Amino acid sequence: MTSEQPPVAKRVPHDRVHHGDTVTDEYFWLQDREDPDTVAYLEAENAFTTAATAHLASLRETLFNEVKARTKETDLSVPTRKGGFWYYTRTEEGRQYGIHCRVRAADGRTAPPEIGDGTPLPGEEILLDGNALAGDSDFFALGTFDVSVDGNLLAYSADFSGDERFTLRIKDLRTGEDLPDVIEDVFYGSAWAADGSTLFYTRVDDAWRPYRVLRHSLGSGSTDDAIVFEEPDERFWVSIELTRSERFLLIDVNSKVTSEVLVIPADAPLTEPRSIAPRRQGVEYSVEHHGHRFLILHNDGAEDFALSYTSVDTPGSWTTLIEHEPGTRLLQVDAFSGHLVVSLRRDGLTGIRVVPLQGSAPYDIAFPEPLYSVGPEANLEYDTTSFRLHYVSMVTPDSVYDCNLDSGELTLRKQKPVLGDFDPSRYEQHREWAIADDGTRVPISIVARKGTPRDGSAPATLYGYGSYESSMDPWFSIPRLSLLDRGVIFAIAHIRGGGEMGRRWYDEGKLLAKKNTFTDFIACAQHLVKAGWTASDRLVARGGSAGGLLMGAVANLAPESFGGIVAQVPFVDALNTILDPSLPLTVTEWEEWGNPLADPEVYAYMKSYTPYENVRSVQYPPILAVTSLNDTRVLFHEPAKWVARLRAVSPSTKVLLKTEMGAGHGGPSGRYDAWREEAFVSAWLLDQVGKAS
């Protein structure tokens, strides 16, 4: 076999029997990453992909350079106040990772320091340089970055392979030296107690589920760390956080549909955690501390959530603060000494509501564009009248505002620079609605360069996700400009299974209603064609992770509707994964997809849509699958098996598999590497729609 020929994976029959149904999985052997044949197959696929896309090398370099030329490489985030310091991150030209810094705050100063041209601020203290920490490693990611309440210590953890297993260290910010404390194999996040010498963190079990909260005292070995909480139910994940008021540590315990919060006083870290409200199946709640009460955002008798409170001293019954309003999904509450700020979603758009606690009536912050996304930024101070938010649209770059909570006045602190001749007035954004098979109206967000024809001649890409109530709200992208300027339309299908239209939107796209996610996406694709935005052979579908399952499903259901498909870290072997409780995340996923191991109806339903089981002998559009060897969320073998079966069953289909051999679920970690990865995908996409020249 040469790199010019498609790889052919060996076929080794492996029978699986469930509910009396026998299925042969001839590529089961690809699950063994220690098998030299597995690695050889992945490397052969990479070599073939390299050869098949060699003609795009010049275009890839052009696209990369366009992103680089539009990006302010030496830049600085808006500083955020916490205690006596302003914290920020900056980047330097030619360096892959951010540099985390702080400067002392001038007494009485409430506005952040001017950030100028993005160079270091006067009096800068570098807390952590990601470039120095990464060294020569091909991959680097932070898992926690947590400064103690007194500002003296930094807990940080790093992953150098992409498998999301982190090593935690503690840096003394007064000396700049790491302490001897080193804790291996921790998960994301941490929380400091008020004493500045006790740190809480989490660990995962063999199925990669964070199930334990541990307590570490500085100077003690990690083997002496006490188990503060352990969750035996494999459906639940645990996490730890410190409230904004810095008075309580919260242990959050969540499954897909049920939650419980336990509390520890931050000034008494040895105290046994107590439950604010015992878990009840199907009831979700989150907690925010506010003075004498705990605020509780919940769905108990409130599909789109309501806001209540209970006593800090004796948590018990809940008193309602904000009633349930069908169609207005409450997402988050941020509590400050004199105000509450509620993040919400209504009519397919996000919003911010301010609730003053004295005198004034609640109000919603207004924004001028028809499509946008808005949400809270880092707001670390409790005693403040300023709320920081993030705003973006498909034509307006990411913007950071401070809102005066008393007046509602917005002050723009920074808009992400886009260098060169970028002018947002050259682009237009639209909201349209597709009609699903059952008559449901499905929103689509569209952005195009002004003057793009509406006669079906323009190429387009349609992005989708549609799982876990995760919403694909409008966002701005510098790499996307390279597509728009070449006449490519970009659209987002806000399909069921996501949360764009409230909790019911999610419920109607999960479990035994999951197929709505796929048919909604196809309806959106067909709408774009009927409305003259594009034609089917010039429309490329794109999605990743659970959105990659979407890509595989729509490829099987309606291959004629697309001119190409990009599936990134795709969850395409979903049934086999969800049948195996030893694999990462499986048991926790049963409340999202159903339990095919126990329920024959779920088994049959999943088998009828999962991409790997439903590959057909039809002409598929060209497919690009991208994965990572060290991914712990969607294991590499899923796209590898899918591609192997596509080659065998539909040999005329042009399918490519690209595997990052040293990365995880998010792909390459360095920003320049990520730009090159995006340039690779964009060049392939342009090639499919005849815009590669």
What would the 3-class secondary structure string for 250-299 be? EEEEECCCCEEEEEEECCCCCCCCEECCCCCCCCCEEEEEECCEEEEEEC
Q: Given 631, 637, 650, 687, which residue is catalytic? A: 631
8 A C-beta contact, residue 170 and residue 186: no
Three-point CA angle 622, 45, 646, nearest 5°: 45
* Distance, CA of 130 to CA of 671 (rounded, Å): 12
Is the model's pTM score more than 0.85?
yes
**Tokens at residue 461, please?**
């890409």
Note the residue count of the chain: 693
Which residue spans within 120-197 are E strands per DSSP?
125-129, 141-147, 153-159, 166-172, 177-186, 190-192
* Distance, CA of 571 to CA of 468 (rounded, Å): 13
pLDDT value for 109? 63
Give me the residues paired with residue 400 across strands.
390, 414
Query: H or E stretch including 677?
Result: helix 671-688
Task: Give tens-digit pLDDT for 103-122.
Answer: 999 866 678 998 888 899 99
**Tokens at residue 368, please?**
């001028």
- Residue 317 DSSP SS3: coil
- Residue 667 DSSP SS3: strand
- Label residue 693 by pLDDT band (50, 70, 90): confident
Quickly tell me which residue has 């309606």 as its tokens: 558
Distances (CA, A) of 446 to 375, 443, 450, 463, 476: 21, 10, 12, 10, 12
- Label residue 202 by pLDDT band (50, 70, 90): very high
Strands 441-449 and 427-435: antiparallel
398-423 CB burial, b ≥16 within 10 A, e <16: ebbbbbebeeeebeebbebebeeeee
Task: Give tens-digit pLDDT for 147-186.
Answer: 999 999 999 999 998 888 999 999 999 999 999 999 999 9
How many whole angstroms from its chain centre is CA 211?
Answer: 21
pLDDT value for 687? 98
* Distance, CA of 520 to CA of 441 (rounded, Å): 9
Q: What's the average model confidence in pLDDT over 203-229?
A: 91
Strands 274-275 and 259-265: antiparallel
Distances (CA, A) of 625 to 543, 551, 594: 10, 10, 26
Report the share of the chain in percent with pLDDT over 90.
91
Q: Given 255, 665, 669, 687, which residue is catalytic? A: 665
8 A C-beta contact, residue 167 and residue 188: no
Task: Give tens-digit pLDDT for 477-510.
Answer: 999 999 999 999 999 999 999 999 999 999 999 9
Query: Which residues fall within 8 angstroms of residue 390, CB to CB, at 6 or more apart?
Result: 373, 374, 375, 376, 377, 398, 399, 400, 401
pLDDT value for 108? 60
Task: Give tens-digit pLDDT for 378-424.
Answer: 999 999 999 999 999 999 999 999 999 999 999 999 999 999 999 99
* Distance, CA of 584 to CA of 589 (rounded, Å): 10
Three-state secondary structure along 445-502?
EEEEECCCCCCCCCCEEEECCCCCCCCCCCCCCHHHHHHHCCCCEEEEECCECECCCC
218-227, 364-373, 540-549, 636-645: lowest mean pLDDT where? Answer: 218-227
pLDDT value for 538? 98
Q: Which CATH architecture has domain 58-68+423-688?
A: 3-Layer(aba) Sandwich (3.40)
* Distance, CA of 619 to CA of 650 (rounded, Å): 7
pLDDT value for 2? 56
Decide if 665 is catalytic: yes
Q: What's the average model confidence in pLDDT over 329-333?
A: 98
DSSP output for 528-591: HHHTTS--GGGEEEEEETHHHHHHHHHHHH-GGG-SEEEEES----HHHHHT-TTSTTHHHHHH
Query: H or E stretch including 516?
Result: helix 515-530
Three-point CA angle 525, 529, 533, nearest 5°: 105
Residue 517 has pLDDT above 70, yes or no: yes
Tell which residue, 495, 492, 350, has the closest CA to residue 429: 492
Tell which residue, 621, 518, 611, 516, has the closest CA to residue 560: 621
Q: Given 190, 343, 393, 545, which residue is catalytic? A: 545
Task: Give tens-digit pLDDT for 418-475.
Answer: 999 999 999 999 999 999 999 999 999 999 999 999 999 999 999 999 999 999 999 9
Strands 306-311 and 319-322: antiparallel
Three-state secondary structure along 19-37?
CCEEEECCCHHHHCCCCHH
Residue 4 has pLDDT above 90, yes or no: no
What type of residue is 360?
A: S
Residue 220 has pLDDT above 90, yes or no: no
Decide if 181 is catalytic: no
* Distance, CA of 552 to CA of 178 (rounded, Å): 47
Domain residue ranges in the chain: 58-68+423-688, 328-416
Task: Give tens-digit pLDDT for 344-373.
Answer: 999 999 999 999 998 789 999 999 999 999
Decide if 18 is catalytic: no
177, exposed or middle or buried, with CB in 10 Å at 0-12, 13-18, 19+? exposed
To the nearest whole number, what is the mean pLDDT of the chain?
Answer: 95
Three-point CA angle 374, 341, 108, nearest 5°: 100
Find the radius of gyration of the CA atoms of the chain: 25
